[in-house]
Amino acid sequence: MEGTATLPHVLAAIGATRVTEPLDPTRDLTRDPDRELAEAFRGGDRTAFDTIVRRHQQGVWRIVRRYIKRDADAADVTQQVFVRAFKGLASFRGAASVRSWLYRIAINCALSWIRDHRRETPTEIAEDSLTELPVAPGRIASDQDGVRLRAAIALLPPKQKLVLELRVFDELSFKEVAELAECSENTAKVSFHYAVKKLRDILGGDDASR
Amino acid sequence: MPRGDDENAPTQITDAVSPPDDHAPTQITDAVRLPGSKRTKLGVAVHPDHEPVELDAADHALVARLRALPPEGNEPDWRKLQAAIRARTAPLRAPALWWRNWRWLAPIGALALSATIGVGLGLRDDTPTRTAVVPELLRDASVDHDPRIVSEQSERRDAERAPAMWLDGEPVDVDDIEPEQLDALLQRAVGDELGATFGESLDGATGELRAPDAAELDQIGVLPPADYRWIDSVDDDAAARIESWLARNPS
């Protein structure tokens, strides 16, 4: 049973404006909508790359932000992701979708940044770890719920965490999740199921019954 | 939320995930098949293989709560982010496949190769080089000529000149001589030579060589002591003329 409080509804409720170009939810997932843009870019059309940036910068930023807890660093790494994509798009073979390919670059860049900044003090890294949307009266409970949920997600094994986040927060298909998690589609489905079950175990029976 | 697949869709367990490992970011590895006992410990209502596993209502509710969470952090100004990306990629040349820089090399190379082959064929000298071997018809008997050595220059000289015959030390153009005069010249030359060479061997009456007696044979051998090596240098045409002359003049 799915809830109606999806992310777009939440954003609309708080009045957030979206400058990015959202993907069409009725898109045919069997066909990559960015393939033509990639071909145009390889043909020398730089504006095609700008379109790709507008389409995917938000998704890339979200993935990077899950690894890097500082907004400024996450934005900088997001720029690095697209600069690397600019250089590598000529050799993009099209085995996966452009979005999957970008998200793979984002994960690798985020992990590289974490590896390079491992020596930083934990306070600097976790400066914004608990900072969510501006807290308003009446939303403390939901923020606390969000904090607990994110804390529970952080306790999941890395693969299940990755699969769960890609599926829930990034709205990827299991096929795309499998491409990023480097496993089969069936394994991705099983990992997702295990992640949900384990999350329920972590949160306890009381949360599951809400 | 429309997606390409549904969480409610039955899922077949054909591959199991690996046991939980450390929480550090690690490489995603392939899944391994868990034995039935471990799968039971995870609390999953596992059916035998190839049977579907579904999320129950509580699971779907939890997923809905997760999807309702606001995004982490404060989203940046997307226009500024796009501008920053454009500024960082502006100095970079739009990537292209490596062969695009060389796409003119193939037709230019083919054109250059064709031109080179054409020039090479055009400059080739097709005139055959043949060495004209024109042996001398007759040579001076007093000069020791090696008939096997025929220089190209002498052959060319000889080819340019009319065929010459040496009679009595003088070059005689056979084509300019009447047959009767040739006979007289030959008679004079051969007769004189025969007389000078054989002397007493000639029969005064007939002019023919007298058969040598036994005593002369013992002294001079079977063949008369004459230098007849010039006969080897005579070609077929000259030999035919000599034979015809000898046939007309049996004496």
Nearest CB to B82; choose among A54, A146, A160? A54
C-beta atoms of A25 and B2 within 8 A: yes
Q: Which of helix, strand or coil describes residue B30? A: coil
pLDDT of residue B124: 79
Distance CA A148, CA A154 (A): 10
Six token digits for residue B234:
């005579």
Q: How far apart are the first and last CA of chain B?
A: 135
Measure in Å the smallest separation between the Cα of A39 and chain B Cα atoms: 10
Q: Give the model confidence (pLDDT) of A153-176 as tens digits.
A: 999 999 999 999 999 999 899 999
Beta-strand relationship, B52-53 and B164-167 = unpaired
Q: Give the model confidence (pLDDT) of A93-111 as tens digits.
A: 778 889 999 999 999 999 9
Find the mean pLDDT for residues B39-59: 57
pLDDT of residue B72: 83
pLDDT of residue A161: 93
For B52, the closest chain A residue by CA position comes to A190
> pLDDT tier at B201 (50, 70, 90 boundaries)?
low
Find the mean pLDDT for residues A171-199: 91
Distance CA A180, CA A194 (A): 18
pLDDT of residue B106: 84
pLDDT of residue A188: 92
The answer to whether B210 and B203 have CB atoms below 8 angstroms apart is yes
- Mark which residues 140-169 of B lie under 8 Å from A by CB: none
Distance CA A2, CA A171 (A): 14
Distance CA B93, CA B101 (A): 12
Query: What residue type is assigned to position B24 of the chain?
Result: A
Between residues B175 and B88, which one has the greater pLDDT? B88
pLDDT above 70 for B90: yes
List residues bridging with B167 in a β-sheet.
B170
Between residues A33 and B35, which one has the greater pLDDT? A33
- Mark which residues 164-223 of B lie under 8 Å from A by CB: none
Chain length of chain A:
210
C-beta atoms of A86 and B95 within 8 A: yes
pLDDT of residue B239: 86
Measure in Å the smallest separation between the Cα of B105 and chain A Cα atoms: 19
Which of A123-127, A198-202, A205-209, B84-88 has the lowest average pLDDT?
A: A123-127
Nearest CB to B82; choose among A5, A53, A83? A53
Chain B hits for A86, Cβ within 8 Å: 89, 92, 95
C-beta atoms of A168 and B66 within 8 A: yes
- Mark which residues 11-70 of B lie under 8 Å from A by CB: 11-18, 20-26, 28, 30-31, 42-44, 53, 55, 57-70
Count interface pairs A-B at CB distance under 8 A.
Answer: 210
pLDDT of residue B22: 46
pLDDT of residue B162: 52
Maximum distance among all Cα pairs of chain A, rounded to whole angstroms: 57
pLDDT of residue B34: 63
Dihedral sign, Cα of residue A188, residue A190, residue A191, residue A193 = positive
pLDDT above 90 for B4: no
Find the mean pLDDT for residues A175-192: 91
pLDDT of residue A164: 94
What share of chain B in percent tops pLDDT 70?
37
C-beta atoms of B62 and A155 within 8 A: no
List residues bridging with B171 in a β-sheet.
B166
Find the mean pLDDT for residues A119-135: 49
The answer to whether B2 and A25 have CB atoms below 8 angstroms apart is yes
Closest CA to B165 of B176, B157, B155: B176
pLDDT of residue A4: 47
Q: Give the model confidence (pLDDT) of B102-159 as tens digits.
A: 777 888 989 999 999 999 988 876 666 666 555 555 555 565 555 555 555 566 555 5
pLDDT of residue A165: 93
Six token digits for residue B223:
């063949």
Between residues A140 and A125, which one has the greater pLDDT? A140
> pLDDT tier at B101 (50, 70, 90 boundaries)?
low
pLDDT above 50 for B242: yes
ipTM: 0.71
pLDDT of residue B159: 57
- Mark which residues 74-113 of B lie under 8 Å from A by CB: 74-79, 81-82, 84-86, 88-89, 92, 94-97
- What pTM was computed for the model? 0.49
Chain B hits for A75, Cβ within 8 Å: 76, 81
> pLDDT tier at A65 (50, 70, 90 boundaries)?
very high
Nearest CB to A44; choose among B64, B77, B94? B94
